[in-house]
Structure 1
Amino acid sequence: MTKRMGCSLARFLTLILIGMLAIIQSGCGSAQSDDDNASIDNEKVSISSVAGKSNVVIFTPSDGISITAHTPLNKWAKFTPLITKALTDKGFPSKSIRVKTDASLDKQREDIENYVTDQLLTASTETKKHTVLIVAPVTPEHSGNEQYGDYVSSPSDLANSSSEKKTADDSTTDAQNDDERKEEKSKAAADAKAMVKALKKAQQAGAHTGLLANSLDDFTPDFFVSMSTAEQIGTLQAHQLVSKLALEKVTADHPKSIEILIPFSEDGTGSDSSRIFASEAFKGIWDTLGPYFKDGRAVSASNTLGKQSSEKDWKKVSFNASKTSDVREAINTRLTGGSKDAQPHHVDGIIAMNDFVSSGVVEELTSLKYSGSAADVNPEIDVSGIVSSLTSKRNLNRQAVPKPKDSKQNSNDADDVPKVNDSNNMSWPIVTGYGSYLDMIPYVVNGKQWMTGMENIQKLSTDIADAAGTLVAEKPLTDCPSISSMPINGTTTNVIHEEAMAISAGNLKKTLIEPGYISLADAEL
């Protein structure tokens, strides 16, 4: 009896000791967690206190006056207020944040030179190292990206305005236009070099620099904010089309009819720039759709593209898109051969590249009596699913292209797919665009336009503010989760990049309305 009581008491005391040890360990763990949290809070306070004594000057191109809703949401006038707000949230005083807009590279260069010479270089050492210059270089006029928005990243030779890159299929321009273009490029190159010289002086004085959208030759900023390129915009829309039309299930016996519209105007003043932009946009599309055309699963109702086509054939699908009537004429010719009496071809998908072009496409499809909406095509597939399955964390042009299956496989999967020559099938095609034009949002809602796109400028603004706060606190930018290292103009650079948002009726509320880009009324909801 005594022995059993002794064993019970021993077990009881053991349980008490285990419980006490658990409490002690829990307390230690809690204290460690509190220390970690305190460290993080102290770091935030440290950055905030330094930011409170710092200056940020933002130089961007001017938007110009817009009195119409037929314009992209991708505008500097939308972006810079978000950057300013993110900076104030980070602790930068609003009075210490300045925004300067310029209509030309020449004027922007002058403003940067004046600020660096008259204000920065005469300031104290402490002020210099607590100053951040954020510059979005003005790009040449007629660079080919005007219809996509203000901050599409241009190819490096485009951004630096000094390239004379041409392709074998270029037509010759008259000598006067050629001389004018060379003179314009020479002046722009001189302005860019002068701007680089001023920014290097700022860096040498201890200030920090960031570039938005476009790089500058022979200059490495503290960070570079990469925006979507022509190739990435083309890739984004092609991926959307591949998935929405379920091309991997299609056979060559029942192909999908796809038309590609590349807006391009060779006007003699910016033809090099617009040519490069248009050709790279088509490359992004063709890298994705090309395999389907080659094995016969995708065809062109207008026969502009086929099995033998390549990325060099971009001019076959390009057209002047200066006016909506140009777009309507182009798609009408593709679908009817230009004949008023012809029965329009069946078409499954149209890549319009931007919302200016898609607006003309929607108008002409309506006029030709196509009916239905994108909601009728594979309704179980939405943009959110496509984005999560096809986009990686980094650049869109590095994504793997969905590989077409053998055309002999899955022959039963497409038995209900209308053949291209089924002229009686006038169902509404999938139409893609980019830019999130305000007046096109209602068409995204009703499915006449399947998707549009725009930069995630709210997230980019937060990333920029994080980088600015980290720099003035004299901490490494590698502390910022949004920073990665990439080669820019041959030099390893700290890069901020966020994927462009693909927007459809299914995610419109989350992507545009809730963040405050548009209102319910704008979407006609």
Structure 2
Amino acid sequence: MLSRMTALCAAAVAAATLAACASPAAEPGPDSGEEPRFVGSAAIFTPSDGLTISQRTPLNKWQALVPELTDALGEQGFEGDAVSTHTSDSLDRQSRDIQDFVVDSIADESVEAGDITLIVAPAVEQDDSTRQYGDYVSGEVAGGDAADDGSSGDGASDGEASEGGTDGDGTEETDEETQAVQRLVSALNLAKDSGMRVVLLSGTIRGFAPDAYVRMSDARRIGVIQAQNMVDKLNLDGTSPDNPKAIEILLPRDPSADDDADDDADEESGDAASDGSASDAEGSADEAADGSGAFAREAFAGIWEVLGPYFREGTAVSPSGLLDADTTQDDWRSVTFVADSDEAIADELTGRLGMEDSQTHTRIDGVIAMNDYVASAVTDRLAALGYTGTSADINPSITISGIVGNIAGQVDLQKEAVPDPIKAPEEAGDETDETDIEQINSRWPIVTGYGAYLDVIPQIVNGQQWMTAFEDRKTLCQDIAQVCARLALGQSLDGLDCVTQGDVDGVQVPTVTEPLVAVSASNLKETLIDPGYITLADAGL
């Protein structure tokens, strides 16, 4: 098939030249309020929906995005029969689908390649841990810088694995993936050469720079939004080191990851450091992290960017002792664990709190659970351990009845700073007895997650889980459609508020970004129910 593409390259270049010559001057787009202009056709390529190990459903699914994007494209002038959708269950299948579409479109004399916009969400393979955050988590498809003929591009001799290849049993599978990336890069570059526009969603592809990139969920932003909500809810800026907040970070990692990779990296790091090769040591560690924990590493970097200063000041502590004032972003492995079952998550929390054989409660003010699957198991175990109350109790100005009234649209709910004594109860003197201390230590903590799982929304209403977060899919679809229409009309994207310049494979590319949406009981109606993401029944009301 690659030879077929090569044979059509000359035709593609000619088509690109013809399209450029025939392109009209930029005209007002469909979003300008004037009569809609012809913006051509669009082809949407997305992965199949991912299945979580819990079989629970995050809000952000490709199956939900595609029809909303199709409608948004229609509002921008793309006629219904001019928008096609394609779903693939693997990168290999997707690369073939895109290749066939591009080649067939160029070969079809009735089709103007310059009228086509490709919207591609690369089928990045997610591990079981990453999949818990939803389908839109950004990733990079690596290996596309290898030559089209299958060589690695770095002087590998015949018989050696191409870039990304491995020795032994993994070689065949890795070679197939490498070929899929090469095929995808070749097809997309051919599409651009022929005059088509290419907009990438969520994932980037090494070796390819699109006309526009839509940044969606990524590990660092998922970490930041939970940490910032924890800071705000616990009022860490008003907390004294004499009465610090107790916070745990439960950072799930891929259960299929090879732990030996990290150990080998640490060994290589030490050997390199002893030789004076600090950069080599850092590279070895990063390489291992990319193979077994890149998402966890970046998520922790986002969390620690926010929480690190409070641990250094002593206003936040870790009951498990895994985090302290000396912790850095490089210590992300210390809080990772395999979250492949509810029981594994529950046991991890129990161990962090030191309550395997104890009936005495350990004070815990906040748990960053990272995603709603982990958060759900956390709240179940907290209840089993005898922690009482709800997240609403931490702020006396918010009650469960007030939460329900707010969601039903009856009252406005305002959050205020969380009051807390300057000194910890056990240091306050004889005025506080052991019973009072136990009551304080057994209070329900703040629990954060991500994904807006439908089955955890009632847990947010009843105060067991404080917050979740998700991608504002509807707004993103409007943004994408507007970008596609402007590109099709040859207009600049500079005037769009959602667009900035970002680095994609070393090239500055117009990048669409919308903030992640944090959801708690105080704004659940406005963020989830009113826009139509969920119903009152979904919220358990």
Q: Given the two structures, how large is their TM-score scaled by the length of structure 2?
A: 0.76
Confirm whether residue 131 of structure 1 aligns to residue 116 of structure 2. Answer: yes
Is the 1:266–1:274 contact (alpha carbons within 8 Å) kept by the matching residues of 2?
Answer: no
Give, as a single letter, the amino acid of the residue that structure 2 aligns with 1:91: G
- Paired with 1:291 and 1:213, the residues of 2 have a C-alpha distance of 31
Deviation string, structure 1 residues 444-495 (Cα, Å, up to 9, x no partner): 1111111000001111100011011112222222243322111222110010
User: 50, 53, 56: which is aligned to 1:70?
Assistant: 56
Map of 1:113 onto structure 2: 99
- Per-residue deviation, 1:266: 4.7
Q: Which residue in 2 is equivalent to 1:393?
A: none
- Preserved CA contact (<8 Å) 2:29 2:485: no
The yes-or-no answer on 1:502 pairing with 2:518 is yes
> Is residue 318 of structure 2 the alignment partner of residue 289 of structure 1?
no
Any idea what the Cα deviations from partners look like across 1:356-390, whole Å, max 9, x if unmatched? Answer: 000000100011111111112235699xxxxxxxx
2:83 aligns with one of 91, 94, 97: 97
- Give, in angstroms, the shift of residue 279 of structure 1: 1.1
Output the amino acid matched with 1:50: F
CA distance in 2, matches of 1:94, 1:218: 32
Retained in 1: the 8 A contact 2:468–2:518?
yes
Q: Please say if residues 239 and 422 of structure 2, whose CA atoms lie closer than 8 Å, have aligned partners that are also in contact.
A: no
Corresponding residue for 2:405? none
Could you list the runs of 5+ residues in structure 1 that have no partner in the other structure?
A: 1-38, 164-175, 383-411
Deviation at 1:217, TM superposition (A): 1.2
Matches of 2:145 and 2:239, distance apart in 1: 44
The answer (yes or no) to whether the contact 1:178–1:268 under 8 Å persists in 2 is no
Aligned pairs (5 A) from 1:147-226: 147-154=132-139, 156=140, 179-181=168-170, 183-226=172-215
**Aligned counterpart, 1:245:** 234
CA deviation string 1:140-193 (max 9, x = no partner):
242741100011112x47697999xxxxxxxxxxxx997445554443232112
* TM-aligned CA deviation for residue 135 of structure 1: 0.4
Residue correspondence of structure 1 range 431-446 to structure 2 within 5 A: 431-446=447-462
Of 422, 429, 434 in structure 2, the residue corresponding to residue 415 of structure 1 is: 422
CA distance in 1, matches of 2:233, 2:195: 51
Contact kept, 8 Å, 1:121 with 1:202, in 2: the verdict is no
Say if 2:144 and 2:181, in contact at 8 Å, map to a contact too.
yes
Partner in structure 1 of residue 254 of structure 2: 265
- 1:519 corresponding residue in structure 2: 535
Shift of 1:200: 1.0
SS in 2 for 1:478: coil
8 Å Cα contact 1:301-1:335 kept in structure 2: yes
Give the number of aligned pairs.
441
CA distance, structure 1, for counterparts of residue 390 and residue 397 of structure 2: 14
Would the alpha carbon gap of residues 447 and 298 (structure 1) be closer, same or farther in structure 2, given more than 3 Å must change? same
Partner in structure 2 of residue 358 of structure 1? 375
- 1:25 aligns with none
Residue 123 of structure 2 aligns with an amino acid whose one-letter code is V
User: Could you say what secondary structure the match of 2:204 adopts?
Assistant: coil
Contact 2:91-2:122 within 8 A present in 1 as well: yes
Say whether residues 1:327 and 2:345 are aligned partners: yes
Instruction: Give, in whole Å, the separation in 2 of the partners of 1:327 and 1:413.
Output: 30
Query: C-alpha separation between the residues in 1 aligned to 2:426 and 2:178?
Result: 53
Shift of residue 256, structure 1, vs aligned partner:
0.6
* Cα pair 1:348 1:428 within 8 Å, conserved: yes
Q: 1:428 aligns with which of 441, 444, 450?
A: 444
Structure 2 residue 502 is the aligned partner of structure 1 residue 486: yes
Tell me: CA distance 1:449–1:179, structure 2 relative to 1, closer, same or farther (3 Å). Answer: farther
Matched, 1:338 2:324: no
Tell me which of 375, 388, 402 is aligned to 2:392: 375
Deviations 1:236-286 (A, max 9, x none): 111111111011111111111001100013524798444111111111111
Q: Contact 1:177 / 1:269 at 8 angstroms: preserved in 2? A: no
Q: Which amino acid aligns with 1:218?
A: G
Q: CA separation of 1:487/1:178 partners in 2, compared to 1, >3 Å: closer, same or farther?
A: same
Instruction: Go from structure 1 to structure 2 and tell me whether the alpha carbon gap of 1:379 and 1:76 turns closer, same or farther (over 3 Å shift).
Output: farther
1:289 and 1:256 mapped to 2: Cα distance? 11
CA distance in 2, matches of 1:160, 1:423: 58
1:398 is matched with which residue? none
Name the CA distance, whole Å, in 2 between partners of 1:491 and 1:195. 18
Once the two structures are TM-superposed, the CA of residue 342 in structure 1 deviates from its matched residue by: 3.6
Contact 1:159 1:214 in 2 (8 A): no
Query: Are 2:138 and 2:216, in contact at CA under 8 Å, matched by a contact in 1?
Result: yes
Contact 2:52 2:131 in 1 (8 A): no
Distance 1:180 1:228, change over 3 A: farther
| Distance verdict in 2 for CA 1:269–1:161, change over 3 Å | farther
Deviation at 1:338, TM superposition (A): 2.1
TM-score by length of 1: 0.78
Give yes or no for contact 1:260–1:352 (8 Å, CA) kept in 2. yes
Q: CA deviation at 1:196?
A: 1.1
Quickly say closer, same or farther: Cα 1:178–1:346, change in 2 above 3 A.
farther
Higher Cα Rg, which structure: 1
